[in-house]
Structure 1
């Protein structure tokens, strides 16, 4: 992120005039694995997951950590919903400092390992607590590794989010969801020309129509249980009407106007691990305050009404077992609960 305003400004240059939005997908490739091949072995209590509830990519990691019951093995630091051009900050914590890492902003963990780190300071990030150094910010791999490398620390009854026999199909579906939906909304919102916007808009809603058709007669995206593919789609759907429809001009129709997709989103929202990790207040504040070049007034909309997320979805009529042979996670621990005024649950 770059801008030419004062150091403490939240302003960022997100739109480049005349150009399409292109996401920098070069993340820190280091992995935390059972064999410790990259120098970071799986070890309970050693790593801290740093997130922001506003961020859809970080929200995925929060959901997967909770579904698998990794709370005792991997602690979690939560940044506030807004940030300046340097990085996300721990402004929700006393004194504005993360109580475990002892730093005010996540960039400090990046610079501890890479003093001249040249790319965006992003969440989610896994930080090695003993050294205070970032290990990885490779968000798609982080959640897959939670499922495959951290099995020793999964709770009893943890679901199989990335079962081996469905991985090819999960990867295929997730790739289109990423290109045309997860990232597609940003390609609309950060488009630098009318032509770029219209191309992104068409790709987005072609994919939404494809998802609507796919989910009309099946409860989940792949197989008959919740998988990584559902987690990846949900975090975009949760933000669609609150942010993307208006702020990013993704306004052919609202999520609530897609019968199957809207019921599917409500089904997941009402499933432990999904809705109870969603903070609509943080989501709206982040997008409408940080993206000053799109919303220069920084006015945060009062709506939409969130109570409709709790209406019956009737998706159970399609069959399927959300957790397969597993069980739902236990209630959210008090220290990690989303404030009730930020969420209709």
Structure 2
């Protein structure tokens, strides 16, 4: 193994300068994914790790109805936050189902947004065909055994799944990512932060080299919005989602006036089901309408042997979750 340099700057500007000046440098926060990829799986290579864990990027605040979450706030800290408990229960449900207690005490919010896929073909260096790891080499998952893979936003170049639970809830709530880099600051809606595989599966988000996530802004819903995050997995203990759904409805006079729906376990990115939301608005909170929305949400999936089951499973989960948040029985 080559020599790895470790740096721990005291200032944000210093950290950005260190990474920007070195193409072989990367930021390090909790390290729960990064160190696995580097030291255990060996599928990424860095010359320098710049530790940002002690920079002033931790904690939460509320300004003008928006919860701002510092990027190095841990998952456990955010799950225990009083505002999250009271105003964002869907986010808390996603956090608590997303990792073991030990991992939640180390993993950061910024790191969760940037976590890499758990696709076993990507993480196994013995597999030559992985466009995400080696662009242009092909996708072994498309022709090999596949189960924990994507069916939305996928194609012959890549079916690697985005594994985050938290991001599904944040996408549904219109969260915005705060970014800082050598060219200054910018904000990007989380729905626009991720890049679907297309011809370049190795490009996963809009960050340029040297840019880092500094915070995440989560708009606090007005009273009356009922929401839930539901995750289906192989066993109840810590495990990645087969499918998951973050759903929120506002119902007035029996009609749906606001609908939010995002899916996990099925997309190459955290999947916002825009068409399903459009279908639901203005309709009655009936199971028949929920079923129609579920069909629209899973329209035109890209499946391979081993992932076909996710279509029906996701549709059933959508209906179940919408029924719960609406209180519908019919």
TM-score by length of 1: 0.28
Question: Greater helix percent: which structure?
Answer: 1
Q: Looking at both structures, which has the greater relative contact order when contacts are Cα pairs under 8 Å and sequence separation is at least 6?
A: 1
